Amino acid sequence: MITLARLWRSSTGRFGLVVVAAIVLVAIVSVFWTPFDPKSIDTGARWLGPGWPHLLGTDSTGRDILSLIMTGARTTIFVAVGAAAVATLFGILLAALGALTPRWTREAVAVLIDILVAFPVLLIAMMIASVWGGSLWVVVWAVGIGFGVNIARVTRPELRRVQHSDFVLAGRAAGLTPLQNLTRHLLPNVAPIFIVQLSWGMAVAVLAEAGLSYLGFGANVTEPSWGLLLSELQAYITVHPTSVLWPGLAITLTVLALNLLGDALREATDPTLRHGARQRIPHEAPGVVA
């Protein structure tokens, strides 16, 4: 709760929170209500411009673009949250294995991380999709594992640094078991770095879903997706340039909001940054994922 209040005080945090909350709200509303049925085809209302009753206009088959974007938010959130969950589990596991285990497993995992980082996530997702067929789950797992590796790469050395700090030793001297030390001292101390990475990971997942769906490797044609919508509308960009603006804007705004939210979260969760920027924790930019 305190973190949330602190988040609200920074302008970037406020922007990120508002936009992300708005998208979540839109997705929830779309479950119960959309202005039009996003699947209903109305050949009498093709390519309408923004206006009433189609606020953002219609596409080549007369579907309402606002309704399509609203239901598309569900897909976006599903992919972002799913990829973040996979990345968290996989990232923590890999970082912990690479930092806290005996020497030879530690070194082996470090090498494994370096190798895995080199794999282009999007290409692998496309490969899997072309062999077994594309789906949103492929996107979730591919981006989740791919970004989990990135998170592990950044978190592992930090975890090692914290593990060798005096307060972890003091914790052990107080009788903490390794697991208690992990949950009370180690993970909370790497959390700021982790959270920024994760918010970037979510942004990457949103982009990846849009990109893969755009290319036909992600969402099924029957599923609502901003990327899919973008690719459909983009074919007519010279004739109807305004319609393609909306899914593009939705994607951009979401990615921007997630990035800003991550930065603000990092500052809000790190008490040493609260009173003037003392000992700033350096964080690396995410590696190239595609």
Partner 1 sequence: MSLVVTDLAITIDGRRVVDGISFEVPDGARLGLIGESGSGKSLTALALLGLLPAGAEATGSIRWDGTELIGMPERRRASFRGDDIAMVFQEPRTALNPIRTVGRQIAESVRIHRGVTRAEARRIAIAEAERVRLPEPARIVNRYPHQLSGGQRQRVALAMALACEPRLLIADEPTTALDVTIQAEILELLLGLVDDAGMSLLFITHDLAVLSQVATHGVVLEDGRVVEAGPVPELLSAPRHPVTQGLLRDATATLWRGGAS
If the CB atoms of residues 11 and 177 are measured against partner 1, the closer one turns out to be 177
Query: How many C-beta atoms surround the C-beta of residue 180 within 10 A?
Result: 13
Q: Which stretch binds partner 1 (CB under 8 A): 35-43, 86-94, 225-233, 269-277?
A: 269-277
Q: Are 218 and 136 in contact (CB under 8 A)?
A: yes
* DSSP class of 152: H
Distance in Å from the first CA to the final CA of the chain: 36
Residue at 164: amino acid letter:
H
What angle in degrees, to the nearest 10, is found between the helix axes of 245-269 and 2-9?
A: 120
Closest by CA to 13, choosing from 262, 276, 280, 241, is 262
Mutual angle of helices 187-215 and 226-234, in 10-degree steps = 30
**Which pair of tokens denotes residue 186?**
């180690």
From residue 26 to residue 45, the character string flagging contacts with partner 1 as x (rule: CB under 8 A) and all else as - is --------------------
Binding test (CB under 8 A) with partner 1, winner from 49, 105, 272, 280: 272
Contact between 282 and partner 1 by CB under 8 A: the answer reads no
Site for partner 1 in 90-129 (CB under 8 A): 102-103
The single residue among 4, 55, 271, 288 that binds partner 1, judged by CB under 8 A, is: 271
Q: Is 169 in the site for partner 1 (CB under 8 A)?
A: yes
Subset of 188-227 contacting partner 1 (CB under 8 A): 188-189, 191
Q: What is the nearest approach in angstroms of partner 1 to the Cβ of residue 175?
A: 4
Query: How many other CB atoms are there within 10 angstroms of residue 60's CB atom?
Result: 16
Judged by CB under 8 A, the stretch of 6-14, 129-137, 146-154, 268-276 that binds partner 1 is 268-276
Residue number with CB closer to partner 1 (209 or 270): 270
Q: Check residue 5 and report its DSSP letter.
A: H
Minimum Å distance from CB 185 to partner 1?
A: 5
Size of the site for partner 1 (CB under 8 A): 26
> Looking at 113-121, 173-181, 213-221, 257-265, which segment touches partner 1 (CB under 8 A)?
173-181
Burial (0-12, 13-18, 19+ Cβ within 10 Å), 10: middle
The reply on whether position 176 binds partner 1 by CB under 8 A is yes
Amino acid at 59: D
Q: Which range, of 165-173, 205-213, 219-227, 246-254, touches partner 1 by CB under 8 A?
A: 165-173
Q: Least distance in Å: CB of 187 to partner 1?
A: 11
Of residues 74-93, which lie at the interface with partner 1 (CB under 8 A)? none
Q: How many degrees, rounded to 5, is the angle at CA 18 between CA 245 and CA 142? A: 65
The DSSP annotation for 61-72 comes to T--BHHHHHHHH
Contact window for partner 1 (CB under 8 A) among 108-116, 179-187, 211-219, 222-230: 179-187
Q: Min. distance of Cβ 188 from partner 1 in angstroms?
A: 6
- Per-residue tokens: 111: 């090498």
Return residues touching partner 1 (CB under 8 A). Answer: 102-103, 165-167, 169-177, 180, 184-185, 188-189, 191, 269-272, 275, 278
